[in-house]
């Protein structure tokens, strides 16, 4: 704990998925250390699962949770949202504004800069969590967003990257950070390192994540169809998650004749979902440092994942087992091998889990982020190199080499 408790406000657009998991864990850890913490997020994102999570978190935070309408894309409505956020945060008298994702970073740095111009000593911290870094620099929209990121460096006091890959993507697509920057891996709680056994009626495969193409549920469904057509395999599967594209994926399952073997379960806690299948599949087209991969490895679940973002950093010396992103044939082959040789997958799961807690734990995540806050405020922290978060067998690479190693993600056309 610091000599004087900090007043910290985390700002994010959508209170869903891994990004909100990160914020919740960090906010509670900071609260346990005696700091006063609050959250600002979108009022329209999420369903019943997320509403329960927010209702559970809010009374545990001294500065509470306030929600405003925030659109994913840049719109004129951002001005209205920014005004409301400014008035709310002004009364909280924060020491730290920590923006998460592109839109959260925009509000945190914009509002924080207004406070600075009015003489308040507010520290502005930004964590991309992938966000606008998923855009393609060859496209016009990508160039615009990277230019906006470059401009906002002038309103930033410190940057947190959740993976070496994310640091490399920022340095390659935007600029070398002009302020103190630190790689801090997402962390898990001790109880999450207990293995999860499959239920007696478990499906063969599990997809769990937001139901949007960036996460690859369409690739998962296509691979299940290919297994039957090309290999005569008929595995069962469960799809866990919610999203506005769910009806489209349900139609895809019906059109491919998979209704009898593929079910949709809505949103569930990860460890509950893990018990419903023998093998987890994470077919993402792009990621930063996905919690679901960390959670599956910690739970010792057989896992198929794509070579995107920070996933190679989780797999370490086993990163050659990763599947190329956006390749239905490669995903089909990996799922076919897992279906045919489940014992081999279980042995790999045991080996992956060893040592994970050393680099990916909540206390370490909290210590590294809060010490960044304090170092920036005391003007004593120098810039951190891109490697140094406790990597798992990934050697130092140049930004271009890191992007090539992880698989340069395609433009999503959207960001958080």
Catalogue all structural domains in the chain, each as residue range(s) with its CATH number. 7-187+361-406 (3.40.50.2000), 190-357 (3.40.50.2000)
- Residues of the chain whose pLDDT is less than 50? 1, 380-397, 409-416
Name the pTM for this structure.
Answer: 0.87
Instruction: For residues 184 and 187, give the distance between their C-alpha atoms in angstroms, rounded to a whole number.
Output: 9
**Which one, of 248, 224, 247, lies nearest residue 234 by Cα?**
224
Instruction: With H, G, I as helix, E, B as strand and everything else as coil, classify residue 238.
Output: strand
> 392: Cβ–Cβ under 8 A, 6 or more apart, which residues?
313, 314, 315, 316, 317, 355, 356, 359
Instruction: For residues 383 and 381, give the distance between their C-alpha atoms in angstroms, rounded to a whole number.
Output: 7
Q: What is the largest CA-CA distance in the chain?
A: 69
Using the 8-state DSSP alphabet, how is residue 306 labeled? B
Q: Residue 402: what pLDDT?
A: 52
In this structure, are strands 277-282 and 96-100 parallel, antiparallel, or unpaired? unpaired
Instruction: For residue 234, give both structure tokens.
Output: 């008929």
Instruction: With H, G, I as helix, E, B as strand and everything else as coil, classify residue 152.
Output: helix
CA angle 53, 55, 56 (to 5 degrees): 65
In this structure, are strands 7-12 and 158-161 parallel, antiparallel, or unpaired? unpaired
Q: Residue 268: what pLDDT?
A: 95
Instruction: For residues 259 and 238, give the distance between their C-alpha atoms in angstroms, rounded to a whole number.
Output: 11
Handedness of CA 126, 128, 132, 138 (dihedral sign): positive
Number of H helices, E strands in the chain: 16, 12
Q: What is the DSSP string of 171-205?
A: HHHT-S-SS-EEE----B-GGGGS--PPPTT-EEE
Q: Residue 415: what pLDDT?
A: 36
């Amino acid at each position: 704990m610091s000599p004087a408790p900090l007043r910290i406000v985390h700002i994010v657009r959508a209170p869903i998925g891994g990004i909100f998991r990160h914020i919740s864990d960090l906010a509670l850890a900071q609260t346990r250390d005696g700091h006063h913490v609050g959250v600002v997020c979108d009022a329209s994102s999420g369903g019943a699962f997320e509403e329960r999570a927010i209702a559970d978190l809010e009374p545990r935070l001294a500065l509470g949770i306030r929600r405003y309408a925030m659109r994913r894309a840049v719109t004129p409505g951002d001005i209205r949202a920014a005004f409301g956020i400014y008035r709310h945060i002004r009364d909280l008298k924060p020491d730290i504004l920590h923006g998460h994702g592109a839109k959260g970073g925009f509000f945190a740095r914009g509002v924080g800069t207004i406070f600075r111009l009015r003489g308040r000593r507010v520290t502005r911290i930004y964590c991309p969590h992938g966000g606008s870094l998923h855009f393609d620099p060859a496209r016009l929209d990508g160039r615009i967003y990277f230019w906006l990121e470059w401009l906002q460096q002038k309103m930033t006091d410190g940057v947190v990257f959740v993976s070496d890959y994310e640091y490399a993507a920022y340095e390659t697509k935007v600029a070398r950070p002009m302020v103190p920057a630190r790689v801090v891996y997402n962390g898990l709680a001790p109880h999450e390192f207990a293995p999860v056994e499959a239920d007696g009626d478990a499906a063969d495969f599990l997809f769990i994540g937001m139901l949007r193409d960036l996460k690859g549920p369409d690739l998962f469904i296509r691979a299940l169809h290919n297994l039957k057509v090309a290999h005569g395999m008929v595995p069962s599967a469960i799809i866990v998650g919610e999203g506005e594209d769910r009806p489209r994926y349900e139609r895809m399952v019906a059109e491919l004749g998979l209704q009898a073997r593929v079910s949709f379960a809505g949103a569930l806690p990860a460890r509950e979902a893990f018990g419903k299948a023998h093998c987890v599949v994470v077919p993402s087209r792009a990621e930063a440092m996905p919690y679901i991969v960390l959670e599956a490895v910690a739970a010792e679940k057989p896992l198929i994942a794509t070579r995107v973002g920070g996933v190679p950093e989780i797999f370490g010396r086993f990163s050659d087992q990763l599947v190329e992103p956006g390749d239905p044939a490669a995903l089909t082959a990996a799922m076919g091998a897992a279906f045919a040789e489940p014992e081999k997958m279980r042995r790999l799961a045991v080996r992956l889990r060893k040592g994970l807690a050393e680099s990916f734990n909540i206390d370490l995540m909290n210590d590294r982020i809060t010490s960044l806050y304090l170092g920036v405020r005391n003007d004593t922290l120098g810039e951190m190199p891109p490697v140094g978060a406790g990597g798992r067998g990934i050697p130092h690479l140049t930004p271009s080499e890191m992007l090539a190693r992880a698989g340069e993600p395609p433009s999503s056309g959207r960001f958080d």
